Amino acid sequence: MELDTVAAISTPPGEGAIAIIRISGDKAVAIGDRIYRGRESLMKVDSHTIHYGHLVHPSTNETVEEVMVSVLRAPKTFTREDIIEINVHGGVVSADRVLQLVLTEGARLAEPGEFTKRAFLNGRIDLSQAEGVMDMIRAKTDRAMNVAMKQVEGRLARQIKTLRSRLLDAIAHVEVNIDYPEYDAESVTLERLEKQVTDVQTEIDQLLATAHQGKILREGLATAIIGRPNVGKSSLMNALVQDNRAIVTEIPGTTRDVLEEYVNVNGVPLRLIDTAGIRETEDIVEKMGVERSRQALSDAELVVFVLNANESLTPEDEALFDAIKDFNAVVVLNKTDLEKKINETQMHDLVGNRPLVTTSLLKEEGIEDLEAAIAYLFFDEGVESAEINYVSNTRHIALLNQAKKTINEALEAAQAEMPVDMVQIDVTRAWEHLGEIVGETAPDQLIDQLFSQFCLGK
Ligand code: GDP
Ligand code: ZN
């Protein structure tokens, strides 16, 4: 494959102690060498070494920057191509100046995600690993980062490849049967295929079972804090934000340039719905009334419903209990430092078997219990077990579901004693769906679209 030499600033925009300009491709070392002045020519140094020196304009010999230059020769590099990494002093101007110089010397500006795309095209990583790289960039919590890292390591890819080879094996036996009908009775072939395919299906089901949790770790739980005015919603939100590093992410260089606020609750990222709304208007429920808060609830995956222990229950509370009956909810009985005026029997009836946590947000009591209750609601076996391959990517989930569906169709066809080559077609389609996850059967267009979501310089 002939790929040209590309370059980009690989560190995030803005000021930092250093910035890195990365060049990848056949001409990377030669380009670096033309503008570098140091003890040795970069053409002569060992691979995977770093060198102090200066960058100059090759025509005027005028010094541009003081630098450290890493020389990484193919194939043991991120892109499997020759790579030069130029470390310059932080700051937008110096990094840009060096990039311009590199471009003048013959490199092309890399597209967003192009380095990762090259790693994929050159066979260093598969598509699911590349997507893991993107998830790592976007990860909101350590746990989400761990899930993404496992994907980058290729754990999911290995499992998918094993499943594919088992399907291929099943298909191959059918081929033998079609070519040499005397070799194997058709019914035996079908029985064998059914068994093999059913085993694969079971494993796909197990993977899909992790999807919900994987998606939570990756995208965060849309969380609504509701309750009547003055019960302590804002106090609760502040407690959560204070206690847990609030992560305001501006996802740079991606297609969804949005500002979202997350809090990390025992490893579960909560995405606070309408945070801005709650802050600006102070009380979203107060302003909107129960009827409209029902509407605001529609996006919520988790509801935290706050009650005031110092007041009796009102019809409004009952209406809110009714509004959240189909939601994952934790009920918080707040202000327990004050005289208890709430009717506890009535409250327990309304709470039913939902988790109930008592807090005094004023005294900062009960917050940890609340956090544990939230985590337990979604991860009763503890967040992120090391053993499990979480499927967290929407594209992967969709493809696993498609594979599952076509395998079902194959099994139905087999049970209806359809001709074996009909069954084989469905199994082949399942094999293709799984192949799309790792990029072996993915169309170019899809690949381009995926990598275009990456940041520049990645
Ligand atoms: P919101 O209207 O539901 O957002 O409630 P706020 O968080 O704004 O709290 C309303 C008032 O109750 C504020 O004056 C808080 O300081 C107070 N408050 C919140 N939590 C507690 C608590 O646990 N005990 C007591 N005594 N007061 C609280
Ligand atoms: Zn409030």
Q: Is the CB of 150 under 6 A from ligand 1?
A: no
56's enclosing H/E stretch is strand 49-56
Mean predicted confidence (pLDDT) in 331-336: 97
Q: Is the CB of 233 under 6 A from ligand 1?
A: yes
Judged against a pLDDT cut of 60, whether residue 200 lies above it is answered with yes
Poorest-confidence range of 10-14, 381-385, 412-416? 381-385
Mean predicted confidence (pLDDT) in 216-243: 82
Do the beta carbons of residue 410 and residue 423 sit within 8 Å? yes
Pairing mode, strands 302-308 and 221-226: parallel
Nearest atom of ligand 1 to the alpha carbon of 336:
23
Mean predicted confidence (pLDDT) in 98-126: 90
Q: Is 419 exposed, middle or buried (0-12, 13-18, 19+ CB in 10 A)?
A: exposed
Alpha carbon 457 to its chain centroid, in Å, reads 19
- Ligand 1 site-directed mutation target among 238, 283, 310, 361, most atoms within 8 Å of CB: 361
pLDDT digits (tens, 9 = 90+) for 20-57: 999 999 999 999 999 999 999 999 999 999 999 999 99
Residue 30 is predicted with a pLDDT of 97
- DSSP state for residue 110 in the 8-state scheme: P
Q: Please state which CATH number belongs to domain 219-378.
A: 3.40.50.300
> What's the first-to-final CA gap in the chain, in angstroms?
21
What is the pTM (predicted TM-score) of this model?
0.63
Task: Provide the 3-class DSSP secondary structure of residue 339.
Answer: coil
CA of 307 to the centre of ligand 1 (A): 11
Judged against a pLDDT cut of 90, whether residue 391 lies above it is answered with no
| CA gyration radius, the chain | 28
CA dihedral 291, 293, 294, 299 (to 10 degrees): 150
Q: How far is CA 33 from CA 37, 46, 186, 381, in A?
A: 8, 14, 66, 55
CA of 278 to the centre of ligand 2 (A): 7
Residue 292's pLDDT band (boundaries 50, 70, 90)? low
Do the beta carbons of residue 226 and residue 278 sit within 8 Å? no
Helix ranges restricted to H, 127-224: 127-138, 142-153, 155-179, 186-209, 211-219
Token digits of residue 142: 């350590």
Do the beta carbons of residue 310 and residue 335 sit within 8 Å? yes
**380/3: higher pLDDT:** 3
% pLDDT > 70, the chain: 83
Residue 402's pLDDT band (boundaries 50, 70, 90)? very high
Phi then psi for residue 282, to 5 deg, are: 70, -55
Poorest-confidence range of 3-7, 218-222, 294-298? 294-298
Classify domain 130-210+392-451 by CATH architecture.
Up-down Bundle (1.20)
- Cis before 75? omega within 30: yes
Q: How far is CA 317 from CA 80, 144, 230, 302, in A?
A: 61, 35, 13, 18
Domain 6-110 belongs in CATH node 1.10.10.60:
no
Judged against a pLDDT cut of 60, whether residue 260 lies above it is answered with no
Question: Which of 351, 355, 293 is CA-nearest to residue 325?
Answer: 351
Asked whether this chain's domains 6-110 and 219-378 adopt the same fold, the reply is no
Q: In which residue are the tokens 């890195």 written?
A: 20
CA of 281 to the centre of ligand 1 (A): 16
DSSP of 128-142:
HHHHHHHHHHH--SH
Residue 186 is predicted with a pLDDT of 61
Residue 276 is predicted with a pLDDT of 37
Alpha carbon 191 to its chain centroid, in Å, reads 39
Question: Which of 105-109, 139-143, 443-447 ranks highest by mean pLDDT?
Answer: 105-109
Residues with Cβ within 8 Å of 457's Cβ and at least 6 positions away in sequence, in order, are: 8, 9, 10, 11, 22, 110, 115
Q: Where do the structural domains in the chain lie, given as residue ranges?
A: 6-110, 130-210+392-451, 219-378
Atom 10, ligand 1: which residue's CA is nearest?
A: 230
| Interface TM-score (ipTM) > 0.90 | yes
Judged against a pLDDT cut of 50, whether residue 249 lies above it is answered with no
Mean predicted confidence (pLDDT) in 155-172: 89
Residues with Cβ within 8 Å of 186's Cβ and at least 6 positions away in sequence, in order, are: 177, 420
d(Cα 368, Cα 433) in Å, to the nearest integer? 43
Residue 309 is predicted with a pLDDT of 97
